[in-house]
Amino acid sequence: MSAAEGPLVVGVDTSTQSTKALVVDAATGRVVAQGQAPHTVTTGAGRESDPEQWWTALGEALRQCGTAAGQAAAVAVGGQQHGLVTLDGGGRPVRPALLWNDVRSAPQAERLIEALGGPEAWARRFGSVPGPSFTVTKWAWLAEHEPEAARATAAVRLPHDYLTERLTGEGTTDRGDASGTGWWATETESYDEAMLDRVGLDAALLPRVVGPGEVAGTVRADGELPFAKGTLVAPGTGDNAAAALGLGLTPGTPVLSLGTSGTVYAVSRRRPADPTGIVAGFADARGDWLPLACTLNCTLAVDRIAALLGRDREAVEQGGAATLLPYLDGERTPALPGASGLVHGLRHDTTAGQLLQAAYDGAVHALLSALDSVLDADADRSTPLLLIGGGARGRAWQQTVLRLSGRPVRVPEAKELVALGAAAQAAGVLTGEDAGAVARRWGTAEGPLLDAVARDGAAMERISGVLKDAGGLLGRTPGAR
Q: What share of the chain is helix, strand, coil (3-state, %, to 5)?
A: 35, 20, 45
Nearest to 417 by CA among 384, 392, 395: 392
CA–CA separation, 362 and 343 (whole Å): 10
DSSP letters for 396-420: HHHHHHHHHH-S-EE--S---HHHH
CA–CA separation, 64 and 18 (whole Å): 14
Helix/strand/coil for 62: helix
CA–CA separation, 426 and 277 (whole Å): 33
Answer for the pair 60, 111: CB distance below 8 angstroms, yes or no: no
- Cα–Cα distance list, 170 to 209, 218, 241, 299, 372 (Å): 11, 9, 22, 36, 40
Helix/strand/coil for 48: strand
CA–CA separation, 51 and 19 (whole Å): 11
Answer for the pair 79, 158: CB distance below 8 angstroms, yes or no: yes
CA–CA separation, 462 and 479 (whole Å): 15
- Cα–Cα distance list, 48 to 100, 194, 407, 411 (Å): 9, 28, 37, 32
Answer for the pair 450, 38: CB distance below 8 angstroms, yes or no: no
303 counts as catalytic: no
CA–CA separation, 397 and 314 (whole Å): 9
Which residues lie closer than 8 Å to 307 by C-beta, 6 or more apart? none
CA–CA separation, 25 and 372 (whole Å): 37
Element (H, E) at 363: helix 352-369
Please identify which of the residues 13, 174, 239, 274 carries the catalytic annotation. Answer: 239
Task: Provide the annotated active-site residues.
Answer: 239
